[in-house]
Amino acid sequence: MTDAARPEPTEPAPGAHLVTEAERDELRRHGILLTKLEEIVNLGRSKSVWPLQFGLACCAIEMIAASMARFDIARFGSEVFRPSPRQADLLIVSGTVTKKMAPQVVRLWNQMPEPKYCIAMGACAISGGPFKQGYNVLKGIDRFIPVDVYIPGCPPRPEALLHGLLQLQEQIRTQKSSGPNVARHLRPGDRCDYAVPEFGERDLEPPANPAVWQAPSIVRNEKA
């Protein structure tokens, strides 16, 4: 995932910095919208994120509640829950991922086309939550797939899901189409095949994907 294939342009783009923000605002006041292609594309993409219709546990009920009349996720352009991963942009991991389920979640993620995003909804999807002492509970879905937004709560309220969705939209709006901070799906090394764990005799093989997640080394001062 290096950026060696795309060297950073040394010269600024022609015409860049010719128009200041103040002048852009002035133009907008006159009804002329001056923007970048990247921004307008990102704006469009962020307002029509289609989630995968994929419920795991308790949080899925709140996800359904968020799409119903009172909370109405349609206000934010995400009411189109797609049953097939091939048509979805967003994987909402809504609930406890058990070790028996983890390979299937990774497989679904692999089947989704880029650009795709992942929301870990609820304590269980983040870290195992209240069930993290369970022998069959995966301690966080980010051990296998990259997560864009974490929504804490057990379960998070529908409003929290909407807030998480807005955070994701903010991330999408600021994604770069070139340069060193180019979005993940535009990097040349990024392929869509995250390793699917196998069922082992005691645990998943491997228990975490080292390309995605590595245990941070924490040094603690033990009290003498």
Partner 1 sequence: MSGVEPMFPSPSSGAHVNAVHDPFHGDLLEVSMGPHHPSTHGVFRMMVTLDGETIVKLKPVFGYLHRNHEKLGENTSYLGSMPYTDRLDYLNSMTNNWAYALAVEKLAGQPVPERAEYLRVILAELTRLLNHVCLAGFLLQDTGASGTPLMYAFREREKILDLFESLSGSRMMCNYQRFGGCRVDASPEWLAGAQTITNNFGRFLDEYEELITGNEIMMARTQGVGALTPELAISAGITGPMLRATGVNYDLRKVDAYGVYSRFDFRVPLGDHGDTYDRYMIRILEMRESIKILQQALPALPAGPIMDPKAKIRGFRPKAGEAYGRIEGPKGEIGFYLISDGSPNPYRYRVRPPSLVNLTVLEDMCLGQTIADAVIILGSVDIVLGEVDR
Partner 2 sequence: MMETLEQVRDRLLARFPGGEVTLIANPGPAAQHSLALGLNQAAAMALFLRDDPDLRLDYCSNVTGVDWPEKEIVESTKVTVPDPAGGPAKVVEQKTKRIQPGYLEVVYHLYSMALKHGPVIVRLRTGNRHDQVTVPSFTPVWRSCEFQEREVFDLFGVKFSDHPDLRRILMWDEFTAHPMRKDYVEPDDYEWEPTPHGTVLEKAKAHYPATAVAAPTAAVGAAHHTPAAAAVTTAAPVVRSDTGLETRATPAPKEGTP
Write out the residues near partner 2 by the rule CB under 8 A. Answer: 100, 126-127, 132-133, 135-136, 139-140, 199-203, 206-208, 210, 213-222
- Does 50 bind partner 1 (CB under 8 A)? Our answer is no
Q: Tell me: cis bond preceding 115? Omega within 30 of 0 counts.
A: yes
**String marking each residue 192-221 x if it binds partner 1 according to CB under 8 A:** ------------------------------
Q: Which does 200 bind (CB under 5 to 8 A by kind): partner 1, partner 2, none?
A: partner 2
> Strand order of the sheet with strand 149-151?
90-94, 117-121, 149-151
Residue 154 sits in the site that holds partner 1 (CB under 8 A): yes
Closer by beta carbon to partner 1, 54 or else 117: 54
CA 130 to chain CA centroid, nearest Å: 23
- Say whether 192 sits in a helix, a strand or coil: coil
Report the alpha-carbon distance of residue 119 to residue 215 in Å, rounded. Answer: 20
Distance CA 158, CA 3 (A): 38
Least distance (Å) from partner 1 to the CB of residue 45? 24
Give the other-Cβ count within 10 Å of 128's Cβ: 19
Residue 208 near which of partner 1, partner 2, none (CB within 5-8 Å, type-dependent) = partner 2
To partner 2, the closest distance from the beta carbon of 181 in angstroms equals 19
- In the complex, what is the shortest distance from the CB of residue 214 to partner 2, in angstroms, rounded to a whole number? 5
Q: Give the one entry of partner 1, partner 2, none that residue 115 binds, where binding means its C-beta sits below a cut-off of 5 to 8 angstroms depending on kind.
A: none
CB closer to partner 2, 67 vs 127: 127
Question: Strand locations in 62-202, DSSP E?
Answer: 90-94, 117-121, 149-151, 198-199
Indicate the angle between helix axes 158-173 and 58-67, nearest 10 degrees: 70
Angle, vertex CA 138, rays to CA 212 and CA 160, nearest 5: 85
What is the spatial distance between Cα 41 and Cα 185, in angstroms, rounded to a whole number? 15
Q: How far is the CB of 78 from partner 1 (least distance, A)?
A: 15
Give the interface with partner 1 as residue ranges (CB under 8 A): 53-58, 60-62, 64-65, 68-70, 83, 85, 95-96, 98, 100-101, 104, 108, 130-131, 133-137, 154-155, 157
